[in-house]
Amino acid sequence: MPVKTRDGIKLRAMYAQAENPKGTVVIIGGLGDFIERYFETMRDLMARGFTVASFDFRGQGGSERRSSNPLRTQIGDFRDYDEDFSAVMTQVVIAQCPKPYLAVAHSTGGNILLRNLRRRTWFAKAIILAPLIGLVYGLWPRPVVQVLTFLCTSLGLGWMFLPLQKREPRDREDFPGNPLTSDRNRWERDSAVLEHAPRLGTGVPTFSWLKAARKSTAALRAMQARDRFTCPILMVAAGLDRIVDNEAMHRLAERIPGISLIAIPESLHEILTERDEIRNQFLAVFDAFVEDNARQAA
């Protein structure tokens, strides 16, 4: 279903009603994600009695792209993502879906959720998988990344893709050694979706996206013990993550009240597209977290 933001961006969103729903789970994807990647998780949650809702952020999936190259994610500030999230919550979730609202967010989606949980009171509880609180730069020294990002964005080159990475969406042949999942079947399933609907794909991040991400993660890492989020949060770390910084996640969880943290040691970055034995650990965590919420409400 179409959603329009206050700044005129057209977003693609969806919801699916469960019979006699216990509430609604809002799924918030990461960079380059699209709704179809979460269909399996949606079925799992609907089997548990929840209505589900999700959407594509601007510049990715089936939502509007305003770059001359549709593979570029040229966002200048994560406040634009906040606007997308707010539009979907007000026009889809609050308008049409049953309470209570729970959130399941992944990676960049986790960053956006945390930003909004500092002031929004939409959710009873939130589960955040491999959240973007800090980035892993691999062989690139952090000062080099900082200088390159500053120079490129200052010189009007923020549209450039990050170097030394494949610019097109990953495909079937990219499975060996990938940092996202160890499950080949789910990798090939998602690749097949892009083969049939290539318009849903995006390329690697741009320098403008990286600048915006660094600013947003710095704001989260600067939170103090006196700061609060508006609902209880469970963070789930992927033990083998090579995309986001697990140490930054641990430090935030230790510092801010209301955050619990567990890790799935054998998981790569995308817990929801991992092998069954890993996904089942997430589902068990979800069940326990929600059941605890139900006992508190009783």
pLDDT score for 171: 87
Could you write out the DSSP letters of every residue in 198-211? GGG---SPBHHHHH
Q: Is the pLDDT of residue 188 over 50?
A: yes
Q: Quick one: pLDDT band at residue 37, thresholds 50, 70, 90?
A: very high
Question: pTM of the entire structure?
Answer: 0.94
pLDDT greater at residue 294 or residue 246 = 246
Cα–Cα distance, 53 to 15 (Å, whole number): 4
Q: Quick one: pLDDT band at residue 139, thresholds 50, 70, 90?
A: confident
* 207-261: pLDDT as tens digits: 999 999 999 999 999 999 999 999 999 999 999 999 999 999 999 999 999 999 9
Q: What's the rounded mean pLDDT across residues 175-184? A: 96
Mention the CATH class of domain 2-297: alpha beta
Q: Are 61 and 194 in contact (CB under 8 A)?
A: no
pLDDT score for 297: 46
pLDDT score for 163: 85
Element (H, E) at 293: helix 276-297
pLDDT score for 28: 98
Name the residue with tokens 């103090």.
224
Q: Quick one: pLDDT band at residue 292, thresholds 50, 70, 90?
A: low
Give the domain ranges of the chain.
Answer: 2-297
Q: Which of 54-63, 158-167, 194-203 has the lowest mean pLDDT?
A: 158-167
Taking each helix axis as running N to C, give the angle between helix 246-255 and helix 207-221, from 0 to 180 degrees, rounded to the nearest 10: 30
